[in-house]
Amino acid sequence: MKRILALALFAACTPHRPIADAPSFDSVRERLEAQTANLFVGSTLDAGMLGAEHLTDTGWQSGSAAVSISTGELAVTIAGSGALEVSTLDLSFDSIDIPPSVFGTPAQLDNVRLQLPTPTATPVTWSDNDDVVVTLPLELSLSWSLAVNGGAIPLGAQMLPPIPFDVTIGGDGSTVTASFALHADGELWSWADLLKLTAIHVSADAATVEE
């Protein structure tokens, strides 16, 4: 008992080392030049749509489906050249219902995920030190599984052609925010000459989470 009391008194009398203050920045630009900002993308209902076509006995049948983001992450920084670099874009989606017009029967896309495998940068012109708007092409990978007629077909990650990524970055030195959109039409991907992805339109907001 005496030992426990002695340890308690020692702990109470021993000065605690001050925790180093987190770095502070006067602007978004200064922060991105010093470190990567990791932005959280929260659950977003009706974030956009996917368009698809399916080959049937009577030809190609097309349809579209609304998409909702379940969670995601966006990471941006300023490269040594002064270019804005998107180092991470990772979006997971809720299961997507496919209209019966595509397969002739209800179907779902599950475990849908868009990811950026390779960081991409582009020169930027800041409107001020807290605001910048930029468009850069991102080569994204798409993975999902197709559930139809009680069966599931997992489809590994497939690379898509470059898709324009419009992003508006704002905030201040303590918080970084972003509004972004992906828009693409045309034959983006095909599977076994039976299924085509013909459109992606997704938009959402993101922000750093400060402790």
| 119-149 per-position pLDDT tens digit | 999 999 999 999 999 999 999 999 988 888 8
Tokens representing 180? Answer: 């972004």
Enter the tokens of residue 36: 């990567």
Contacts of 130 (CB under 8 A, 6+ apart): 27, 28, 29, 170, 171, 172
Rounded mean pLDDT, 76-100: 92
Instruction: Please give the residue that has the higher pLDDT: either 91 or 16.
Output: 91
pLDDT above 90: residue 67 = yes
Q: What is the mean pLDDT of the chain?
A: 86
pLDDT digits (tens, 9 = 90+) for 136-184: 999 999 998 888 888 888 877 889 999 999 999 999 989 999 999 999 9
pLDDT attached to residue 8: 39
**Res. 21 pLDDT band, cuts 50 70 90:** low
